[in-house]
Amino acid sequence: MKDDAGQLCLELQTGMKSFAQSILRGEAGIAKAKEEDREQAFNTLVTFLMSFASRTGVRDRLSIFTTNYDRLIEAGAELAGLHLLDRFLGNLMPIFRSSRLDLDMHYNPPGIRGEPRYLEGVARYAKLHGSVDWMQAGKDIRRIGLPFGAQDIEPYLKVPGIGEVTAHQLMIYPNAAKDRETADYPYVELFRDFAAAVCRPNSTLVTYGYSFGDEHINRVVRDMLTIPSTHLVVIAYDDRPLGRIMKTYAEMGRPSQISLLIGPALADLTTLTENFMPKAAIDKTTYRMSELIKQRMGTEPRRDEHAAAEMETSAPGTGGHQ
């Protein structure tokens, strides 16, 4: 009996380690791709991120939530110069903190007195199911310096003073117990951030590539839609073979608060960023030109208005010429 339990434990650890290494292989495939293809892929990712993150300092911060374990978003944010606030503090081995939700970045505009302004290019970031570079050291959750696309995790876990750490302590793995595991530390803090960010008036949640297969996330989305001013935008390549998106859409029963963009013609990241997403950067020249056009179009009467005015002045009893 003990031999069977030991064998099962060994197989589980091997499987979890292989799963973590498969994530690194996916990162390595991007890092080792042809330079032209890699640049195009990252440029598309940067454009996608900055379409949401390019906002003035008076608006609320963009909040990014992901269930993926890889570091593609982190890599894209680094290339875009986007600073991510992710609850980890420190430089050598950042540690997860529960008390840093309101931490932000401000600056004092030169020559202007008053309160500091929000620094542009900052977003809040949470990995709801953990990350390939997280580890549990005693009672603390730390982020290790794992290079993007590294071949193996084990060499980076051999650090003096943190005890025995293995690959299976890094993430919440796909299984039927995910709902219960997210109630543990630190995931309960991340889901609290998720609920606080979306379950409030006038918030918009955009999902990309999410098939609505996690009930603990769907619960928060349903609660969000009970607020009439909220909106859900679903972007997905397809809904096959399980059809979860359309099933969830029907169950929520709020079609006026949900927009669906499903299909390769809409959800392909390159097509989406080139044809449907707003301009990523704040172009002052374009903004000024649009303001001038708006002012001119708003003050110049249209032809039908001219015709209506002439008919009114020429009509009998209006004081015009008869």
How high does pLDDT run on average in the chain? 81
Sequence-distant (6+) residues with CB within 8 A of 74 are 84, 125
Q: Which residue has the higher pLDDT, 187 or 16?
A: 187
Amino acid 188: pLDDT: 86
Amino acid 280: pLDDT: 61
Mean pLDDT along residues 269-294: 70
Amino acid 183: pLDDT: 62
Check: CB of residue 96 under 8 Å from CB of residue 135: no
Model confidence pTM above 0.95: no
With a pLDDT cut of 90, the percent of the chain lying above it is: 39
d(CA 96, CA 185): 10
Check: CB of residue 232 under 8 Å from CB of residue 205: yes
Helix (H) or strand (E) holding 141: strand 140-143
- Ramachandran area for residue 182 (φ above 0: left; ψ -120 to 50: alpha; else beta): alpha
Residue labelled with tokens 């991510």: 84
Angle at 253 between CA 249 and CA 258, to 5 degrees: 55
Mean pLDDT along residues 245-265: 94
Q: Which residue has the higher pLDDT, 202 or 98?
A: 202
Strands 62-66 and 83-85: unpaired
d(CA 13, CA 196): 35
Q: What is the 3-state secondary structure (H, E, C) of 167-199?
A: HHHCECCCCCCHHHHCCCCCHHHHHHHHHHHHC
Amino acid 138: pLDDT: 76
Question: 192-236, pLDDT tens digit by residue?
Answer: 999 999 999 999 999 999 999 999 899 999 999 999 999 999 999
Check: CB of residue 271 under 8 Å from CB of residue 265: yes
pLDDT band at 127 (very low <50, low <70, confident <90, very high): very high
End-to-end CA distance of the chain: 110
Backbone angles phi, psi at 120, to 5 degrees: -75, 160
